[in-house]
Amino acid sequence: MSFIQLRNVSYKYPIGKRDVLKDINVNVEKGGFYALIGANGSGKTTFCNVLRGFVPHFYKGDLRGDVLIDGKDIREWDMGELAQKIGFVFQNPFTQISGVKDTVFEEIAFGLENLGVAVEVITQKVEEVIGLLGIEYLRDKNPQELSGGQKQRVALASIIVMEPEILVIDEPTSQLDPQGTEEIFKIIELMKHKGKTIILAEHKIELIAEKADKILVFQDGEVVMQGTTEEILTDQRVQEYGAALPQYALLGLEMKRQNWEVDRIPLTEQQAITTVKGLVAAKGGQICHS
Ligand SMILES: Nc1ncnc2c1ncn2[C@@H]1O[C@H](COP(=O)(O)OP(=O)(O)OP(=O)(O)O)[C@@H](O)[C@H]1O
Ligand SMILES: [Mg+2]
C-alpha cells in the first residue's frame, strides 16, 4: 500500500461556493520527492492542507473521498500525532514564526520543548540543525526581526529539528534569491537522502527538474498530469495547464520540431550538454574546434 493515498478526494472550503480540489487520486510512495506545480490558485496549498489534516480538522468545509496517511484515514488521526509525522512548512514564513520566543535558537527549540524533550537533547538537536542550515549567524537574533528569506530558513529549521517522516513544504523559497534557493534545495535533497518523503509546492521549475522524482500538475483544483519528472517536464501540455517547463526542455522540444535528431529532451544543464555532444558527434564532430 502507498504511504499516502488520496482516493476521489474533493474539497470545498466552508466559505466558498465551489470545489477547490476535484476528484483527486494520488499515491505517494515512501521516500519519494514529489513536486506540486501549477498556476496560482490551482489548489497546491489546499492539497498540502489536506495532507497535514488541517482539512478536515481545522477548516471544516466539505471533504469527500478518502485520505490515508500510512494506512489510516485522515479523520481518524490525532492532530498531535499527525503533526509529528508530517512536518509542514508554510508558504508564508511570517505565519510560521511563533511570536513567543526571543531568539532563533529558542524558536527552533520550541516544538521539541512542547513535546517535553529533555533540555540536553533539545540543545544538541537544535545545534545540529543550525549547523545543517548554516544559520549560526542568526542564532541569537530575534525571529521577528529577520528578513523574509531568513524567516524561511528558520521555519524550515524548526520543522526539520522535529524529524518528521514526511515533509510538506509549500513554496519555501519565495522570499529567497537564487543562492538562498539553491541552499534550501540542498537541504531538501539531504532530507530525501535521509529517507524522508518530500512533498514540495514550488514554481522554480529548473530546480524541480534537477531534484524531484515525481511531479503532480494542478489546474483549477484537478491533478491533470502525474508521473516521473522526465515524463512530465518533456510534455508540452504542462504549459497548456498553466505551469512552466524548464528552458532546456523548451530548447530540446523546439529543436525536435525543427527536425533535429534529439533522442532525449534535456531537462537540466548536464543533459543539455549531453544532447548537444550527441548531435555534434552525429555530424562527425565538424562544429568542434579542438
Ligand atoms: N481559506 C480559504 N477559503 C476559501 N477559499 C480559499 C481558501 N484558501 C484558498 N482558497 C481558494 O482555493 C483555490 C486554491 O487555492 P490554493 O491556495 O490552494 O492555490 P495554490 O495553487 O496554492 O496557489 P499559489 O500558487 O498562489 O500559492 C483558490 O481559488 C483560492 O482562492
Ligand atoms: Mg499556494
C-alpha 199 – ligand 2 centre gap (Å):
13
pLDDT recorded at residue 286 = 63
* CB within 8 Å of 168: residues ≥ 6 apart: 48, 51, 52, 86, 87, 88, 89, 199
pLDDT recorded at residue 22 = 98
Instruction: Report the alpha-carbon distance of residue 63 to residue 117 in Å, rounded.
Output: 35
C-alpha 46 – ligand 1 centre gap (Å):
6
Structural domain boundaries enclosing 255 = 246-290
pLDDT recorded at residue 205 = 96
- Both 224 and 273 in one domain: the answer is no
- Both 252 and 233 in one domain: the answer is no
- Count how many domains the chain has: 2
User: Under DSSP, is residue 86 helix (H, G, I), strand (E, B) or coil?
Assistant: strand
Beta pairing partners, 68: 5, 73
Residue 216 in contact with ligand 1 by CB distance below 6 A: no
Residue 44 in contact with ligand 1 by CB distance below 6 A: yes
Q: Are 53 and 82 within 8 A, CB to CB?
A: yes
- Both 189 and 257 in one domain: the answer is no
- Both 213 and 236 in one domain: the answer is yes
Q: Closest ligand 1 atom, CA of 38?
A: 21
Instruction: Report the alpha-carbon distance of residue 172 to residue 249 in Å, rounded.
Output: 24
* CB within 8 Å of 115: residues ≥ 6 apart: 84
C-alpha 202 – ligand 2 centre gap (Å):
9
Ligand lying nearest the CA atom of residue 16: 1
- Both 213 and 271 in one domain: the answer is no
Q: Give the pairing type, strands 214-219 and 33-38.
A: parallel
Pick from 212, 229, 244: which residue ends a domain?
244
- Both 57 and 128 in one domain: the answer is yes
pLDDT recorded at residue 289 = 53
Q: Are 164 and 87 within 8 A, CB to CB?
A: yes
Residue ID of nearest Cα to ligand 1 atom 7: 13
Task: Provide the residue-wise pLDDT of the chain in tens; the chain has 290 residues.
Answer: 799 999 999 999 988 889 999 999 999 999 999 999 999 999 999 999 999 887 776 677 789 999 999 999 998 999 889 999 999 998 887 778 888 899 999 999 999 999 999 999 999 999 999 999 999 999 999 999 998 889 989 999 999 999 999 999 999 888 888 988 988 898 999 999 999 999 999 999 999 999 999 999 999 999 999 999 999 999 999 999 999 999 999 999 999 999 998 989 999 999 999 998 988 888 776 655 55
- Both 68 and 45 in one domain: the answer is yes
Take residue 221 and report the three cell numbers written for it. 483544483
CATH of the domain at 37: 3.40.50.300
- Both 254 and 159 in one domain: the answer is no
Pick from 244, 263, 282: which residue ends a domain?
244
- Determine the angle formed by the axes of helices 178-193 and 119-133, rounding to 10 degrees: 130
- Both 122 and 18 in one domain: the answer is yes
C-alpha 201 – ligand 1 centre gap (Å):
13
- Both 147 and 219 in one domain: the answer is yes
pLDDT recorded at residue 121 = 97
- Both 137 and 166 in one domain: the answer is yes
Q: Closest ligand 1 atom, CA of 49?
A: 18
- Both 75 and 155 in one domain: the answer is yes
